[in-house]
Amino acid sequence: MEKDLSQFIRNKAFLDKIVSAEEAASWIKDGMNLGMSGFTLFGEPKVFPKALSERGKKEKFKVNVYTGASLGPAADQAMAEADIVNLRVPYQANPVMRKKINSGEMYYIDQHLSHTAEEVRKGTLGKIDYAIIEAAAITEDGLIIPTGSVGNSPIFVEKAENVIIEVNISAPRAYEGLHDIFIQKEQGERKDIPLYKVDDRIGEIGIRVNPEKVRGVIISEEPDIPSPLLEPNEETQAIADHLIDFLNKEVEEGRLPISLAPLQSGVGSVANAVLKNMKDAQFRDVVVHSEVLQDGIFDLIDAGIVKFASGTAFSLSKKRVDSLAEDLEKYKGKIMFRPQEISNNPEVIRRLGVISFNTALEVDIYGNVNSTHVSGTHIMNGIGGSGDFARNARITIFVTPSLAKGGAISAIVPFVSHVDHTEHDVDVIITEQGYADLRGLPPVKRAEKIIEIAHPTYRPQLRAYFEEAKEKVGGQTPHILEKAFSFHQHYKEKGTMLFEQPEEVK
Amino acid sequence: MEKDLSQFIRNKAFLDKIVSAEEAASWIKDGMNLGMSGFTLFGEPKVFPKALSERGKKEKFKVNVYTGASLGPAADQAMAEADIVNLRVPYQANPVMRKKINSGEMYYIDQHLSHTAEEVRKGTLGKIDYAIIEAAAITEDGLIIPTGSVGNSPIFVEKAENVIIEVNISAPRAYEGLHDIFIQKEQGERKDIPLYKVDDRIGEIGIRVNPEKVRGVIISEEPDIPSPLLEPNEETQAIADHLIDFLNKEVEEGRLPISLAPLQSGVGSVANAVLKNMKDAQFRDVVVHSEVLQDGIFDLIDAGIVKFASGTAFSLSKKRVDSLAEDLEKYKGKIMFRPQEISNNPEVIRRLGVISFNTALEVDIYGNVNSTHVSGTHIMNGIGGSGDFARNARITIFVTPSLAKGGAISAIVPFVSHVDHTEHDVDVIITEQGYADLRGLPPVKRAEKIIEIAHPTYRPQLRAYFEEAKEKVGGQTPHILEKAFSFHQHYKEKGTMLFEQPEEVK
Ligand SMILES: CC(C)(COP(=O)(O)OP(=O)(O)OC[C@H]1O[C@@H](n2cnc3c(N)ncnc32)[C@H](O)[C@@H]1OP(=O)(O)O)[C@@H](O)C(=O)NCCC(=O)NCCS
Ligand SMILES: CC(C)(COP(=O)(O)OP(=O)(O)OC[C@H]1O[C@@H](n2cnc3c(N)ncnc32)[C@H](O)[C@@H]1OP(=O)(O)O)[C@@H](O)C(=O)NCCC(=O)NCCS
């Protein structure tokens, strides 16, 4: 390491605490609760979890790992492979870890992302033995400057008995000034979150830490981890088009101004396609109040469509990671990261009147949404912030291609095999077939609209279910319980949800 | 009418607008949207809906009826019987109306009670043609003083094209001063709801109305409608005992002070039993931040346990209705009613850190809750405010007797036939068998706890399902979809959920 560390660790007390990752890892005891920075691969400690995982290969111990959201290969995957995780909270998205969870080899609590900080505050998850936080710098007065995410780091630092800071000297210097760290008091002792406009600064640029709790400072040079860039395909493009159509109609009918309302977009291919599409849309001076900021945001700022974007984390492709240092300078004052407790807070989302769109795994004919469980049992990632936004948004949109697995699965089913979002919280559903605007409709009228945006091959069998349910059972929400999972059942037995192969498949 | 009306209608402009209920009813046109006051039988207009229903017997028309929550015999039942309701929003609890909804003769949108005002503001429910509001008085400067509920009256009055005020001259005069009417601006233009302590006064004592919109004033003398008093039985008593045990443990372990945290309690027999039980508990200076205030509150104030209670409506027995005029004087300054958008607002519930308990119809082994749909299809009442509280509370508790229909139904099932509250939002479940504290537990560990509080006759078959699901299917949330509704199926076919009659039933 050639660089002058005092440029990064500008407070002497912290310079004295530098230790190796191995040493820090050796402090961790079996059964401890670790609070780690990191959210969608960005901002996670990288050398500490690797060292801990290495230790795990030689020594038998398990820890509980709490984070902002998903960590990457150096953390979630390494720890899962080393088999050192007992319980993981509140979100993950790593294939290796996912497998361990679904095979029962480790525990996982899938939690609303705005709830975790409250759970830590209340002690429901036990005390935090160690907080391990990636930092771009430690300031003169001892503030920890986060890197590409804030997540739950502030609450972990506040509540932890010990803090380990992983200073990443390869992180862009311009991270400093990008964050807005606002800490809430206990429930019952707090006032409001004074965030009235998306670009209001309400907190400090870094995380305040009691220096006495800082047991070690680790130096890292591991770069930010890029996410795969998901280029739009025909399907995601069509979904994006319908979404823009829907928003255009809202503007035309006077329900939204040309600046829309603060936007939240989920992660993944559809979200990226939408952001791409927006470049050619009529919207102007849009603000973004999201969880994750993806590549598309920068282009929209360049195009003059978005004027300010806040979130709790980046999720960027290789191209953007490579130019991040310059970009952070370029977009200074137009981007801000807050704790996920603030970005995802019901108070803020509802006050601002966010328009939210997230991806569903499956949706049922009444508009209940499964975001997490394949076949109702095996977790994909987790609910993430989708519930925080869905419940409190001004308009709640879920998007999904109408088919999965090459047509063997219909994303629209009679009854979702797992419910993450109830019909009460879902306003609009979009597939490549079109959009179903469910606002102001009772269940049986919702079903009519939803069946219309199923794939044509599945519409007949969905309609048959719905008609039979209305006729034979009736009620506010007609169902035939013994056939509610007949699509899933058919898929399990025959490898397809399609009851009969149609003559001509569209 | 012997009374001097100018005592009640203290602004001359309104005195000039007195009309008969029949005349006011004649203004209503087919297809109109009516916003009515009223919540759990209290504070609803009484003579207007009756007159409208009478007109409906002679003339064919339908209206959409939006309210705070459930109305009583004079309104919901009369209108359902006269068949004049096309769509009802957001809650009802009347047996006659329920039947019409479930038979498909009328539409019903079952909505989070904190959401309706936003929907009206956004226009999702169309414009409000008439607001019909019961009042205890109209003040000199034209404020409408509500009676025993606030509900959605403020937003209806604000947004309606026309307002009809039903002044109830038999209502206690002491209603004046009991209300705290705070109006929010549009999303994106509002600041916070400045309610930091339950007893903060943040608004006016009445609803401001543009006098030009007031088309008529009707005089009524119909008394408040009492709710049936539900005396505790052995079962509800046992549930109440477990709830108090749970709270005691929270206090003992230092997670709650002796004043607990603001309490919300659902309506019905269990809620009443809990309130009764609390009289002998150790808690002191408790505040209540609830939706509905029932009889028990007064006794708790008398006992020095509760020091302040806020809600959006009363739900009182005959005994309390009879003494209401004196009671309102006696409890002045200790009781307050706010719009349901405020009482049930996520911002407020989360900030205050409310402890919430509500009743479930059924609960599944992972802690998902059905509050609304019998057998997944037929609506009972609606989700009401249970979701507003469950999602945002500090501790979310659902209570239910472990059995229904004399043991033919287990309230604990493998998979709930309708999901109103997902496992993410449920912390504790209580039956007469005990409590299951699910906080900090992953799904498979939740199931262990929940099966233990099922009725002993059902535990073996629940355990058999769970073990088979873990073994044969596995995953984060093990299920066997083809058997998920086997309990419901058995009930439908055999009249009981019990697969085998046990030798000796406890
Ligand atoms: C739902 C979610 C998994 C979709 O992600 P995505 O990358 O857009 O989805 P994909 O279309 O690539 O599907 C992912 C996988 O699920 C499979 N899948 C999709 N729908 C399915 C269904 N109904 N049944 C079974 N499998 C399905 C796909 O085939 C694909 O499988 P593969 O990885 O084996 O190819 C993802 O958005 C998510 O985790 N959401 C929950 C959290 C959230 O909403 N966060 C937003 C931030 S607030
Ligand atoms: C869930 C709810 C219906 C329970 O009400 P309650 O009066 O305590 O319940 P009861 O035990 O009397 O049950 C009501 C009926 O449902 C039946 N029932 C209960 N559990 C059942 C089940 N699992 N399956 C089928 N029927 C069931 C009972 O037998 C009873 O039927 P009956 O009227 O024919 O005798 C009621 O609390 C409710 O509507 N909740 C939703 C709204 C809410 O929570 N509001 C709270 C304010 S924030």
- For residue A380, pLDDT beyond 70: yes
Average pLDDT over residues A21-45: 97
Q: A6 vs A230, which has greater pLDDT?
A: A6
Residue A91 has pLDDT above 80, yes or no: yes
Distance in angstroms (rounded) separating the CA atoms of residues B336 and B149: 10
pLDDT score for A225? 87
Shortest distance, CA B226 to any CA of chain A (angstroms): 28
Nearest Cα residue to B401 out of B373, B429, B424, B432: B432
pLDDT tens profile A315-324: 999 999 999 9
| Comma-separated ranges of CATH 3.40.1080.10 domains in chain B | 12-220, 234-494
Is there a contact between B126 and A420 if contact means CB atoms under 8 Å apart? no
How far is Cα B236 from Cα B275, in angstroms, rounded to an integer? 11
Which residue ranges in chain B fall short of pLDDT 70?
A: 1-2, 502-506
Comparing alpha-carbon positions, the chain B residue that sits nearest to A385 is B424
Tokens 């009460």: give the residue.
A424
pLDDT value for B278? 85
Q: Of A165, A174, A194, nearest to A182 (Cα)?
A: A194
Ligand 1 site residues, Cβ closer than 6 angstroms: A 266-270, 291, 358-359, 361-362, 371, 374, 380-381, 383-386, 389, 404-405, 409, 411
B445's CB contacts (< 8 A; 6+ apart) are: A107
Q: How far is CA A168 from each of CA A213, A224, B255, rounded to the nearest angstrom? A: 20, 9, 37
At A357 the pLDDT is 95
Distance A373 CA to ligand 1 centre (A): 9
Q: Where are the alpha helices (DSSP H) in A112-268?
A: 116-122, 153-159, 234-252
Which of B231, B349, B380, B432 to probe ligand 2 with, by most ligand atoms within 8 A of CB? Answer: B380
Phi first, then psi, for residue A57 (nearest 5°) are: -75, -20
Nearest Cβ partner of A376 from B126, B187, B479? Answer: B479
Whether B432 and B239 have beta carbons less than 8 Å apart is answered as: yes
* Strand stretches in A90-152, DSSP E: 107-108, 130-135, 137-138, 143-145
- The DSSP 8-state label assigned to residue B483 in this structure reads G
**Type of residue at B376:** G
CA distance B328 to chain A (A): 27
B291 is catalytic: yes
CB B39 within 8 A of CB B76: no
Interior/surface letters B88-103, b for 16+ CB within 10 angstroms, e for the rest: bbbbbbbeebbebbbe
Q: Is the ipTM of this complex over 0.85?
A: yes
Tell me, rounded to whole angstroms, the distance of Cα B494 from its chain centroid.
34
Q: Return the pLDDT at B504.
A: 53
Residue burial A23-46, b: 16+ Cβ < 10 Å; e: rest: ebbeebeeebbbbbbbbbbbbbbb
Q: Is residue A501's pLDDT more than 80?
A: no
pLDDT for A229 equals 78
Sort out which chain B residues have CB atoms less than 8 A from A375's CB and list them: 475, 481
pLDDT score for B272: 84
Most A CBs within 10 Å: which of B190, B481, B487, as the mutation test of the A interface?
B481
Across the range A359-373, mean pLDDT stands at: 98
Q: Please tell me the CATH superfamily of domain B234-494, with its number.
A: Glutaconate Coenzyme A-transferase (3.40.1080.10)
- Check pLDDT > 90 for residue A468: yes
Rounded to an integer, what distance in angstroms lies between the CA atom of residue A181 and that of residue A207?
6
pLDDT 10s digits, B359-400: 999 999 999 999 999 999 999 999 999 999 999 999 999 999
Per-residue pLDDT of A195-241, as tens digits, reads: 999 999 999 999 999 999 999 999 999 998 898 877 889 999 999 99
What Å distances lie between residue A457 and A374, A461, A470, CA to CA?
21, 8, 22
Residues on chain B touching A187 (C-beta within 8 angstroms): 261, 350-353, 394
Residue A220 in 3-state DSSP? Answer: strand
Closest by Cα among A275, A254, A251, A253 to A264: A275
- Contact between B68 and B61 under an 8 Å Cβ cutoff? The reply is no
Q: What is the percentage of chain A residues whose pLDDT exceeds 90?
A: 92
What is the rounded CA–CA span in Å between residue B386 and residue B398? 9
- Close Cβ partners of A158 (under 8 Å, ≥ 6 residues apart): A183
Q: Has domain A12-220 been given CATH number 3.40.1080.10?
A: yes
Peptide bond into B90 cis (omega under 30): yes
For residue A266, give the 3-state DSSP assignment: coil
pLDDT at A107 over 90: yes
End-to-end CA distance of chain A: 60
Mean pLDDT computed over A433-453: 98
DSSP-derived letter for residue B173 is G
Sort out which chain A residues have CB atoms less than 8 A from B396's CB and list them: none
Average pLDDT for residues A280-308, to the nearest whole number? 93
Could you write out the DSSP letters of every residue in B6-53?
A: GGTB-SHHHHTTB--HHHHHHT--TT-EEEE--BTTBT---HHHHHHH
Radius of gyration of chain B (CA): 23
Flag whether pLDDT at A506 surpasses 90.
no
Q: What is the dihedral of CA A392, A397, A398, A400, to 10 degrees?
A: -160
Task: Give the single-character DSSP code of B421.
Answer: B
Q: Which two tokens stand for residue A337?
A: 């990261």
Distances, alpha carbon B500 to alpha carbons B405, B460, B496, B503, in Å: 17, 10, 10, 9
DSSP characters over B291-320: SEEETHHHHHHHTTSEEEEEESEEE--HHH
CA distances from B355 to A209, B138, B195, B263, B286 (A): 31, 36, 17, 5, 11
Write down the catalytic residue from A119, A291, A423, A432. Answer: A291
Look at residue A133 and give its three-state secondary structure.
strand
